[in-house]
Structures are given as C-alpha cells and as structure tokens.
Amino acid sequence: MLRSPLKFSYGASTARLSLSSNIASFARFQSTSRKNGTAIMFMNMGGPSTVGETYDFLLRLFSDGDLIPFGRFQNFLGKLIARRRTPKIEGYYEEIGGGSPIRKWSEYQAGKVCEKLDSISPETAPHYPYVAFRYAQPLTSDTYQKMLDDGITRAVAFSQYPQFSYSTSASSINDLYRTSKVIDKKGQIEWSVIDRWPKHYSLIDTFSKHINESLESFPKEIRNDVVILFSAHSLPMEIINRGDSYPSEVASTVYAVMEKLKFKNPYRLSWQSQVGPKAWLGAQTDFITKKLVNEVSEQDVPGVVIVPIAFTSDHIETLHEIDIQLKEELKFPHRMVRCESLNGDPIFHDGLAYLVKDHLNSGQLYSKQLPLDYILGSVTATNVFKHPSDFFGKRTPKIEEIK
C-alpha cells in the first residue's frame, strides 16, 4: 500500500493554477511525486501465461484494428482467425513449457527497475511496479483499477516496445487512454509516457554483450565471419506506408549495436512473424537464415547469430518460432545460434532505471515525435486523443488536496 499522502497547501495549488497550461501540468506532475511516490507501468502486448488463455489472447490480438486492420470486418475476422489458430498456437505454448514467460519477465524487470529507482531517484520515490498487457492478463483495465485502488496519483506509462509503431506502442497507449475515460473519469492518476527508446544504452549495451557471448560459441578463427542477423517483428505494409516510424527506429537500434561492436561482423536486419496473405515488411528472417545456412557454404558463411532486437524478453517468437520451428527447417542447425534475450540481465534493468530517472527529471510528458505519430497513424483508430497533450499531464486535484 502507498504511504499516507501529504496535503497540498492552498497557496501551492493556487500558484499552480495561475501558470500557463503546460507549466501548470508539469508543476502538478512534479508535486504529485512528493506526496506518494511514482508508479511505473510496463506496457507490452503480453502473452498467455497458460495454454488455456490462448484463445482469449488471440481474439484480443486479431480484434485490434490498430495492429492488424481488417476494417469493417474486424470483429468477424478476428473471431474467425482466433478460433482457427488457437489449436495450433496452444500446441506451440505447450512445447515451450505451458505458456508465455513474458509476464514473469515483465514483472521481474519492473520490480528491479523500481528497486534501482528508489536508490538513484529518492526525490520521486517510492516507486511502484505495475505491468499492463494489451492482449493478455494482466490487462490494462485490471492494472489501471489496481493502481486506483492503491491510491496512485502519478504514473509513467513505460512502453516495452523500444521502437515505436502506431500498431503496437500506440495501441497500448490508446488502450490506456480509453480505459482512463471509463474508470478514471475524475483523473486521479496523472500520466507521462516513455513512448520509445531505440538507442538507449540499456538496450544497446545488453544486446552487444549477448551478441559477443553468442559469437564465442564459434571457433575463434571463423568468429568474425559469422553473420549477425537482427530480427524484429514484421508489420503489414499498409501500416508502414502511412509513415510509421517503426522500420527506421529498429534500424537505428541495429546500427547503434553494430557501432558498439565496431562493425566487426557482417550483419543484416530481417523481419519475422508475418500473418495472413497481405503484404508485410520483409525480408523474412526464416528466408534469410535458410539461404545463409542451407544454401551458402560454411566456408563463406560459417554461421548465423539471430538477435531478437525488438523484444525485451523471451516469448513465443523467440522460444518457438526461432528456437524450434526455424531450427527444425535448417539442414545444418548447428550453424545457427540465437542470441539470448534481455530477460534478467542486470545491465538491462539498471539501464532502464536510469532511463526512467532521466524521463522524470526532464519533465517531458511524451516525446517530440508522438504528435506526428498520431497525425499519420490514427487513420482508422476510434476514441483516441487527437494530441498527446489531451491526456498526458492531465489530473484533476481532489478537494482534500487543495484545502
């Protein structure tokens, strides 16, 4: 439970109300942390923690027009695809241990980040970890209600999609906004958001370390000829063609990692997890891997290290799609190694804590890019804000706080 909040003085609240809207919003945001700390909400798409949750997960995923737009057939096709795919996907989750580990890792990472924040950012402490998933438990609505019940008044929505896309990052933000309009009509919680961090050192340093560890599995004399194949979740070209920033931000992460590695290996960026007949962003990871491992001699390409560059932890795309499905389709599977995901690496957790600290200290409620993301991306989205300032930084002081 939260510590007992301090009361606002009448003079302090009057001063805040007399400032311009942006400054007043920032002042209220700052003062909230001095009362009862700061909540950090890790946002992601999630995954079914048990096999039995698979259908509900798929139904929510394919019903989300921000991610996979089906237009007026969204609900019908969402249910149809979810029903047809559930038996196969349930089998996949059974093969990787009975469910997705993403909730376990997200809760662990959020907890570690808040522990670190308590020591490096006492002015915004105590920090409270929460996890909100778009398609699986704990859903955004459930987490939001828990935060209200816990008395949270200040929170950072921390996107665990390091590279922004309207289809993923904004879908979670939209879900948060819609939820607030239903269960937080009085605006108890004042929000800011970390909506992207594609070149933050927490990401770059940890992946660089894990890539080096993966390269060490190859003999020293051939190690620098191994291809580093970065893999990110693909998106429909319909979304990309709107001007979505995702491809460029993923590419920026890849380039930053290779800079850290001093470009000591050949590398490429590829895309995975295409669903359905529509055109998706390519080239596909499985196609590139098979070409390099099955068709090119070991003398020319001694091996491939696949790096899941857009994921912050293991889930079905790494544990099954790469580790099982792709490996089984290779003629020489020993030539392919998957780089370890970020998971429980303390370098990653500590780096994220400093990322949040910098965000809190900056007073920035959202990135400079987010308004443009919504101008270009919210083509079919409904019940969303027109500008991030319509939501972030907004909070209505309670009566007892202004007495």
The catalytic position among 43, 67, 281, 342 is 67
- Give the Cα separation of 93 and 99 in Å (integer): 5
Same domain, 289 and 351: no
Catalytic annotation present for 61: yes
Q: CATH number of the domain that 205 lies in? A: 3.40.50.1400
Q: Does the structure show a pLDDT above 50 at 198?
A: yes
Q: Of 59, 61, 215, 352, which residue is the catalytic one?
A: 61
**Total count of domains within the chain:** 2
Q: Are both 374 and 324 inside the same structural domain?
A: no
**Marked catalytic residue, from 43, 45, 59, 235:** 45
Q: Say if 376 falls within a structural domain.
A: yes
The most confident of 10-24, 201-215, 386-400, by mean pLDDT: 201-215
Q: Is 53 a catalytic residue?
A: no
Among the listed residues 53, 66, 244, 317, the single catalytic one is 317
- Domain containing 237 equals 201-338
pLDDT at 65 over 90: no
55 is catalytic: no
Whether residues 188 and 261 share a domain: the answer is no
The one catalytic residue among 103, 134, 200, 359: 134
Instruction: Please list, in sequence order, all residues whose beta carbon lies within 8 angstroms of the beta carbon of residue 393, skipping any fewer than 6 positions away.
Output: 22, 25, 26, 28, 29, 190, 191, 192, 365
Task: Report the chain's terminal Cα–Cα distance, integer Å.
Answer: 24
Q: Which residues touch 183 (CB under 8 Å, ≥6 apart)? A: 141, 144, 145, 148
Name the more confident of 10 and 195: 195
Based on the residue annotation, tell me whether 329 is a catalytic residue of this protein. Answer: no
pTM, to two decimals = 0.86
The residue among 296, 314, 338 that closes a domain is 338
**Residues 160, 148 within the same domain:** yes
Looking at 53, 190, 321, 345, which residue is catalytic?
321
Confidence of residue 72 (pLDDT cuts 50, 70, 90): confident
Asked whether residue 92 is assigned to any structural domain, the reply reads: no
Q: Tell me whether residue 178 is in a domain.
A: yes
Torsion of CA 146, 149, 151, 152, to 10 degrees: 20
Domain boundary among 338, 363, 385: 338
The reply to whether 175 and 235 lie within a common domain is no
134 catalytic residue (yes or no): yes
Residue 34: what pLDDT?
Answer: 39
Q: In sequence order, what are the residues at sequence separation of 6 or more whose Cβ sits closer than 8 angstroms to the Cβ of residue 248?
A: none
Question: Which pLDDT score is estimated for 402?
Answer: 34
pLDDT (tens digit per residue) in 269-328: 999 988 777 899 999 999 999 999 999 999 999 999 999 999 999 999 999 999 999 999
Helix (H) / strand (E) containing 231? strand 227-233
321 is catalytic: yes
Same-domain status, 128 and 23: yes
Q: Does residue 136 sit in the same domain as residue 225?
A: no
| Shared-domain flag, residues 170 and 28 | yes
C-alpha 164, offset from chain centre: 8
| 140 and 40 both lie in a single domain | yes
* Distance, CA of 324 to CA of 249 (rounded, Å): 28
Annotated catalytic residue, options 55, 93, 128, 135? 135
Whether residue 383 is found in the same domain as residue 296: no
Residue ending a domain, choose from 284, 305, 338: 338
Is 233 among the catalytic positions? yes
Mapped onto helix, strand or coil, the DSSP state of residue 304 is strand
Give Cα separations from 290 to 231, 328, 329 (angstroms). Answer: 14, 11, 8
Distances (CA, A) of 115 to 102, 119, 133, 146: 20, 7, 21, 20
d(CA 302, CA 304): 7
Using alpha carbons, select from 166, 44, 55, 149 the residue that is nearest to residue 106.
44
> Residue 243 falls within a domain, yes or no?
yes
Note if 103 is an active site residue. Answer: no
What's the token pair of residue 385?
Answer: 């804000």
Considering the domain architecture, whether residues 365 and 332 belong to the same structural domain is answered as no
Mean local confidence (pLDDT), 142-151: 97
Within a domain: 15? yes
